[in-house]
Structure 1
């Protein structure tokens, strides 16, 4: 490949000229929209012969590198004797304070566009103009320079010279990466059963630019089966970037370990793991302001040295490694991880960086999507996560508190908070005797009140005060903004409801079917691969995650012999009304199980209350077995202690009591004799509640089985996840007991994995 680097004007000049500190004090989130409006108002003043939003492109050769640079200039003014490039910048600062050297990045952008146009049209000179406009007052201030082509060329080459070491590093990395990929073998001696087929399906999906839905049971080696063919596709020129998206830290670790394994086999490829800001922050409080945090103060003056140092020495950049270099160069670790991610071949992080309308990685430009893939791990989790990301709710109580806090302090906040509080009270009265009421449409009046509140709150928050009232105002402001933002996504796949308890009132725009929005937010990527050990039933997940007719699907059988797991069904009723009666036969089964098959067991229950009921009676038996129990809201060290108790070769039987769908039923690897059996009590149905019933009603209306979509399929997923804790490798053997009479019905028999179907019934 030729030593070519493609980039836009803005990231190039920002790399060279950025300076100063991170300062995440409150800024109006309306500024981007207002900035666009300000741009358009200036552009409307242009003469008929002038042009706006002009695409420009050039190629610059320097030190054996070819820089292909493009961008879009705001204005090209042809009405004067000399052609002018106009770069428009909106601001909220006092225009009088802006000087011609306030921001070198702005001049650099404008001069690049002037150079690109002059070079293409062989002009001897150009006028370069900066136009600053205040978003509220529309006051305008302009600076201009007339530059010869020679002056522009000297300036541009000076910028490119400063950027070249960084570019050379990236290009050298790319060459090493592509060579190493061509020579990279599959990192294991052989493929497991089904693994080659899965990897082949991933590669074909990328080559054909299709999405893939893959059900791949535990033991298939999902991580290597998706990452290895994706890396090969990079080597073949199909892709430049991979987003590996997960819901949990443990699956992020699996992706990191897979890359480390391939690095040992010769792979040279960069990856960055993005960890949430509050988890990596070096300070006691996550306050990104230069007067509080030394890692924010002067961040942009130091970040380029940090990037060059890290990229010259590291390829796999996880939380620990990023933290080391961030400390070395005195950089905010979170912002540094985002700057590193911009250069990385693979980005590992949470679903929300791509799908959440509030969070997404906005630095990654639209045109980069075409050469990028989304690998969505544990994709069964994305359904409920997406519902949460695309829903929004408002509570009455914060506005009542703000009304009290700002009475006599700020009339605008007091009046607007009072109006929202009163409006939500009216909705409560409309509910009458009903605890929950669905609305035919979202009340327009509420959005007018929220707009007024947002305007008043912004004026107060820009004063940058401290205190409890200010913190309450910040939270209410962003909640209100999100409510308005989600209303723009609202369609027939939503429902709005009001519920209340005592003095509290809540209104919620609830996304019932996230498939359309997941498709919209995932649009433009070359391919998306949704995979999980429990992407079953496949038709349900295709419906919920968003599929096109031409998308690919694959279902891989378990690679392990069915003899590895001895499966029993105990046909008891675990329905709510029968739970007390079920305890004695469950305990009897437990005693028989551990006496005939001693070892370590995990027992999963559908609720904490049911688990506690069985645990207490188990403890009364004094059988000499050791028992530990999951508690609500366990800290990370408590979780680790719980799992550490499962040791191979225990003299005593250990029984862990846990909750289905909780922290121990997914992503937990207790290999070999660390776990000898799993007992799953119940069919995992979510608790009957108004939201689930609304989901049921919606899918019934849309010619689907609403009860299955709201309850049965999410429930069986929990069962499959819990049972999947047992057999993790070819050498694992053990016992699975499913406790519920419904497991013997035709509906549930169809939902159980093939390898569980050779079961025995406990009578």
Structure 2
């Protein structure tokens, strides 16, 4: 959680107060969340600051160092953050500043006014807090200033301002939300201590995202009671800080003792050294590392070493698939068995770890949600102080013991973990990311180890794009029509704009903007909050909620639109009209996240061309790239390219398909064993399968949608030491084309049918046009690079260990063109050009060789 060295701990004000002060029920239902939790108002936030007048100083950095002595250790607690604004040089009077008025009693609550943002002087016409000031603390002696200075003397008064932009109806916010108040109190304490003030005021400026109306709640405090409150807060946190310092001493000592667990393979020492140097130099590294190089241990080990020397505070191992997470866990476990001490956590998806059949996070549905926040800190502390290796099973065990949600508890454990293994989403997706680490722009000593990094390009484009369907507004209208006339009115307003856009779109229409749609969407979002406050469970709630989440993402993405986006409307395969904010280049958005860490290591067996991936993944000329040599003997792999086959659309037909089947038949009959054949689409797979029924033995077909059990059964059929040939027909880019580890003779050959080019479609053509205009390489970006990556990944299923032996056949004459051959990895420099007769000769000779 904090940024830590052995004798000091840094923590942000926001993280501190949210960690210590959280309480009550876990309730993630729409409309029942913290009004600041869905904040989309960075633009509005800045607008308020600009218009608050000359007395208002925005974004003030504040920091305090607190010496602590606890559990036989002494250390410093450094608390820092940015106050949204500090107002000084105000000449308050009782007539124009309610801060100086007598506090109203609960029976005398004045009416709170909602006011639009005004130019000029700060808006102070809101309402003082509607209750007597609570006692801020009685358990610690107050901190005395070396000299007394009244903050109001000399006509100077100081107000700490916190701005919160919300969708919620601000007329219903009659008290400062506790966490918001605590943030302001921390800033007030730091500022008052630094300036030696006896009194200081805080105010929370709540601003409605749709109307831009604001409401200000304010409170005046004496430094004595503010200091008592702050000392209580610190004392509660210090038990965690003391534990962490002791743990880090033990962890770092263990890191010094560990050695690389294997004998270095050729080039592997250079790879390990390159990762370490990249980290200490605050750079990014892009690694093309063929299977068998040992890229996981070669990236994890030097990062752990850098952590032990104080360069790294937290390691994020980011993956696209579950199987690569398992590889990371096994790698860490190997180091743990050799004496490493680290707190490691894998984030398991909510639907997989939830105790309910289907996640429903509210007290009415789940007993653990009731009072979850009152118990979860104790649960986490119990786990951290009792266990060394934090597994999913331990998370579930301690969550049961303390009756808390295992998923939310796991997220809280990440605050104290040294290493986190998780999906890309938790670092990069603006709707899912771990805001406890990535919410502000402050750079931390995080290292991102990004496995299978070729997957991140398309995943990032998806994360940073958003889409709305016209029909969804009508569907939700039908569900809520008997419940809320206002909700229906808001939905109709959105539908009307979508209808106008639809009338202007025949097939696909690139739009300059969607500004006419944004205001109705904001109004609908505001009404959603009120709607869900009034209505709990009802038939169709999931559909209604899904539109809410789609709206939220659309508005969030709209707020970050730039030249790296295109806006368009079109129709999906069902003919449904939609509007999409399409991220064309994810580099800028990824950099926003990557820059919050110290260093990023991107690695994959298929990161070619490296210049393309550096460009798309936020690289610069100063960043590094490494091509790790393959450890495999060339003689153990046979690579062939057929010169008389094509899968071009203009060549597809019965004769060409018959030729493809003949190649497959000859390839798999050359030796008894297990084989995969990869096709560019399900359609071609089915067409070839029909021609293969009586010619290809023991044929298994990948289905369009397969559950985990079906997937496991499919792979289980490809056993070691087979006595009969088995052939699996699969799709390039599908579930069996990457992340599958069939070692030794569980897979001895692969046929790649076609170049893997994506199908021509609206989005692909938009990408093509965008990059043609940008750098003249539209075809490469939209089709060639994604296609060759699918080919390389599919072919990579064959050779998995240095003991493996296998054959690869590329069925498309286009592979002989220079634009394709130039993208082959170095280990593909030796290949044979074949027809069917030549293929049979080479296979017979290859399988007859005895490799030692």
Cα deviation, 1:580-625, whole Å, max 9, x if unaligned, reads 323333333333333332111111111112112222322223x6x3
1:222–1:496 CA distance, 2 compared to 1 (3 A): same
Give the C-alpha shift of residue 130 in structure 1.
6.0
Aligned to 2:550: 479
Residue 130 of structure 2 is aligned to residue 57 of structure 1: no
**Counterpart for residue 459 of structure 2:** 385
- Rate the CA distance shift 1:264–1:745 in 2: closer, same or farther, 3 A: same
Secondary structure in structure 2 of the residue aligned to 1:218? coil
- Match of 2:566, SS state, is strand
Give the conservation status (yes or no) of the 8 Å contact 1:35–1:135: no
* TM-score after normalising by structure 2: 0.81
Which secondary structure state, in structure 2, belongs to the residue aligned with residue 628 of structure 1? strand
The range that moved more, 724-733 or 194-203, is: 194-203
> Which residue does 1:660 correspond to in 2?
732
1:113-124 map, 5 Å: 116=190
Give the Cα–Cα distance (whole angstroms) in 1 for the partners of residues 454 and 39 of structure 2: 35
Q: Distance in 2 between matches of 1:228 and 1:491?
A: 39
1:223 paired with 2:232, answer no
Any residues of structure 2 matched to 1:114-193 within 5 Å, and which?
116=190, 126-127=198-199, 131=203, 146=222, 148=224, 158-188=232-262, 190-193=263-266
Q: 1:413 aligns with which of 487, 490, 497?
A: 487
Question: Which string of whole-angstrom CA distances, capped at 9 and with x for unpartnered residues, describes residues 356-382 of structure 1?
Answer: 222222111547633111111111111
CA distance in 1, matches of 2:46, 2:565: 35
Alignment partner of 1:309 is 2:382: yes
Report the counterpart of residue 427 of structure 1 in structure 2: 501
**1:3 is matched with which residue?**
7
Where does residue 632 of structure 1 map in the other structure? 704
The answer to whether the 8 Å contact 1:428/1:500 transfers is no
Tell me which residue corresponds to 1:299.
372
CA 1:112 to 1:588, structure 2 compared with 1: closer, same or farther past 3 Å? Answer: closer
Conservation of the 8 A alpha-carbon contact between 2:312 and 2:446: yes
Distance 1:193 1:728 in 2: 17
Q: How far apart are residue 721 of structure 1 and its match? A: 0.2
- Structure-1 residue corresponding to 2:25: 21
Q: Is 1:358 aligned with 2:431?
A: yes
Q: Pick from 538, 556, 573 the counterpart of residue 467 of structure 1.
A: 538
Q: Is the CA contact (8 Å cut-off) linking 2:10 and 2:80 kept in structure 1?
A: no
SS in 1 for 2:534: coil
Q: For residues 575 and 133 of structure 1, do their structure 2 counterparts lie closer, same or farther at Cα, with a shift above 3 Å needed?
A: closer
Quick one: distance in 2 between partners of 1:699 and 1:557?
Answer: 32
Contact 2:443 2:598 survives alignment (8 Å)? yes
Q: Deviations over 1:698-756 (max 9, x none)?
A: 11112332112111111110010011111111111111111111122222222222323
In structure 2, C-alpha distance between the alignment counterparts of 1:541 and 1:50, rounded to whole Å: 42
Distance in 1 (CA, whole Å) between partners of 2:435 and 2:622 is 29
Please state if 1:493 is matched with 2:564: yes
Measure the CA separation in 1 of the matches of 2:564 and 2:50. Answer: 39
CA distance in 2, matches of 1:469, 1:313: 45
> For 1:683, what is the secondary structure of its paired residue?
coil
Cα distance change on mapping 1:4 and 1:688 into 2, 3 Å: same
Shift in alpha-carbon separation, 1:663–1:240, aligned structure 2, 3 A: same
Give 1:607-618 correspondences, 5 Å limit: 607-618=681-692
Residue 302 (structure 1) shift: 1.3
Contact 1:93 1:134 in 2 (8 A): no
Counterpart position of 2:363: 290
Q: What stretches of structure 2 of length at least 5 have no aligned partner?
A: 89-149, 836-852
What residue number does 2:403 align with?
A: 330
Corresponding residue of 2:676: 602
Distance 1:259 1:218 in 2: 19
Would the alpha carbon gap of residues 390 and 756 (structure 1) be closer, same or farther in structure 2, given more than 3 Å must change?
A: same
Equivalence for 2:422:
349
Deviation at residue 230 of structure 1 after TM alignment:
0.9
CA contact (8 A) 2:66 2:77 kept: yes
Give, in angstroms, the shift of residue 193 of structure 1: 1.8
CA contact (8 A) 2:286 2:602 kept: yes
Task: Establish whether residue 399 from structure 1 lines up as the match of residue 473 from structure 2.
Answer: yes
Deviations 1:142-175 (A, max 9, x none): 5656464xx7666655544443332222112111
Per the TM alignment, residue 13 of structure 1 is displaced from its structure 2 partner at its CA by: 4.5
User: Of the candidates 278, 284, 290, which is equivalent to residue 205 of structure 1?
Assistant: 278
SS of 2:530's partner is helix
Alpha carbons of 1:715 and 1:44: their partners in 2 closer, same or farther (altered >3 Å)?
A: closer
Which has the higher mean CA deviation after the structures are superposed, 696-705 or 22-31? 22-31
Aligned length: 751
Quote the Cα distance in structure 1 between the aligned partners of 2:244 and 2:464: 37
Q: Are the structure 2 counterparts of residues 697 and 111 from structure 1 closer, same or farther at C-alpha, using a change threshold of 3 Å?
A: closer
Residue 95 of structure 1 contacts residue 134 of structure 1 at CA under 8 Å; is this kept in 2? no
Distance 1:423 1:76 in 2: 42
Output the CA distance in 1 between the equivalents of 2:172 and 2:787. Answer: 63
| Helix, strand or coil at the partner of 1:428 | helix
- Cα distance in 2 for partners of 1:141, 1:700 equals 54
* 1:45-64 deviation digits (Å, cap 9, x = unpaired): 99959999461402222122
1:523 match: 595
Instruction: Determine the C-alpha separation between the residues in 2 that align with 1:442 and 1:113.
Output: 40
DSSP-derived class of the 2:738 partner: coil
What is the match of residue 272 of structure 1? 345
C-alpha distance in 1, partners of 2:59/2:555?
31
Asked if residue 574 in structure 1 is aligned to residue 639 in structure 2, the reply is no
8 Å Cα contact 1:95-1:141 kept in structure 2: no
Name the CA distance, whole Å, in 2 between partners of 1:689 and 1:40. Answer: 40
TM-score, normalising length: structure 1: 0.90
* Contact 1:247 1:381 survives alignment (8 Å): yes
When residues 717 and 41 of structure 1 are mapped into structure 2, their CA distance, relative to the original with a 3 A threshold, is closer
The CA RMSD over aligned residues, in Å, is: 3.3
**2:757, 2:787 within 8 Å by CA — same for their partners in 1?**
yes
Instruction: Find 2:78's aligned residue among 69, 75, 81.
Output: 69
Shift of 1:413: 2.8
Q: What is the 5 A alignment of 1:730-745?
A: 730-745=802-817
Q: Can you give the 5+ residue segments of structure 1 that lack an aligned partner in the other structure? A: none
2-structure distance, mates of 1:397, 1:328: 46
**8 Å CA contact 1:85, 1:127 repeated in 2:** no
Tell me, in whole angstroms, the C-alpha distance in 2 between the residues paired with 1:97 and 1:428.
39
Q: Could you tell me how far apart the structure 2 residues matched to 1:488 and 1:140 are?
A: 25
Pairwise CA distance, 1:526: 1.5
* Aligned-partner Cα distance in 2 for 1:456–1:155: 37
Change in Cα spacing, 1:451 to 1:155, as seen in structure 2 (3 Å) is closer
User: Hey, what's the Cα distance between the residues in 2 that align with 1:674 and 1:183?
Assistant: 38
